[in-house]
Amino acid sequence: MKSIAIIYGSTTDNTKDAADLIAKKLADYSPVLKDIADVSPEEFLEPDVLILGCPTWSIGELQDDWDTFYPDIKKLDLKGKTVALFGMGDSSGYPDTFADAIGTLYDEFAKTGCTFVGEVSTDGYSFDDSTALRDGKFVGLPLDNDNESNLTDSRVGAWVNSLKQYLD
């Protein structure tokens, strides 16, 4: 069984709650849960699998604590690590920049040599544009507690199940 760290940033706790939910659904794997505000770059090198959460703030921008960490990302050597991304957004209030933070992290972590898993179909989402799209799919799991909190549990459940093939 692989070692897992769930690392999230969160300003108003929606992404924190999603990280808790992911940890609960992966309890059999004993994941470590960390706030990016308290994480050093070296801690990214410890687990086999990194599940990283960042909400989108300030019209398409990273959440503040991730923003602070951002310059250090490209210095990491994550070859051999598996990375899955998730994040909160507001598809109704910010339909042109929905969950853009997932796309920003994807581009930056791509420089580390990691392997991404956990892409998600756009089926069931209503938005106009997102930088988290590659070839018509989200490169991670977007969640929207502002408008669709009733879908969060099932979206997280389906996503976590899709990740399990990479965790044994």
Structure tokens at 90: 């507001």
Q: Which of 3, 13, 121, 128 binds ligand FMN (CB under 6 A)?
A: 13
Does 104 participate in binding ligand FMN (rule CB under 6 A)?
Answer: no
Residue whose structure tokens are 């969160």 = 10
Task: Count CB-CB contacts under 10 A for residue 89.
Answer: 30
Cβ-proximal residue to ligand FMN, closest one:
89
Does 12 participate in binding ligand FMN (rule CB under 6 A)?
Answer: yes
Q: Which of 6, 14, 133, 159 binds ligand FMN (CB under 6 A)?
A: 14
Burial of 144 (0-12, 13-18, 19+ CB in 10 A): buried
Structure tokens at 10: 């969160």
Shortest Å distance, C-beta 9 to ligand FMN: 7
149-163 vs 14-25: helix crossing angle, rounded to 10:
40
- Of 58, 117, 55, 61, nearest to 87 by C-alpha is 55
Dist CA 41 CA 147 (whole Å)? 34
Q: Which of 50, 88, 132, 139 binds ligand FMN (CB under 6 A)?
A: 88
Does 89 participate in binding ligand FMN (rule CB under 6 A)?
Answer: yes
Stretch touching ligand FMN by CB under 6 A, among 12-20, 24-32, 70-78, 155-163: 12-20
Does 131 participate in binding ligand FMN (rule CB under 6 A)?
Answer: no
Q: Say if strands 120-121 and 61-62 run parallel, antiparallel, or are unpaired.
A: unpaired
Decide whether 27 or 59 has the Cβ nearer to ligand FMN.
59
Shortest Å distance, C-beta 56 to ligand FMN: 4
Shortest Å distance, C-beta 104 to ligand FMN: 11
Percentages of the chain per state (helix, strand, coil), in multiples of 5: 40, 20, 40
Residues that bind ligand FMN (CB under 6 A): 10-15, 55-60, 63, 88-90, 94, 97-100, 145-146
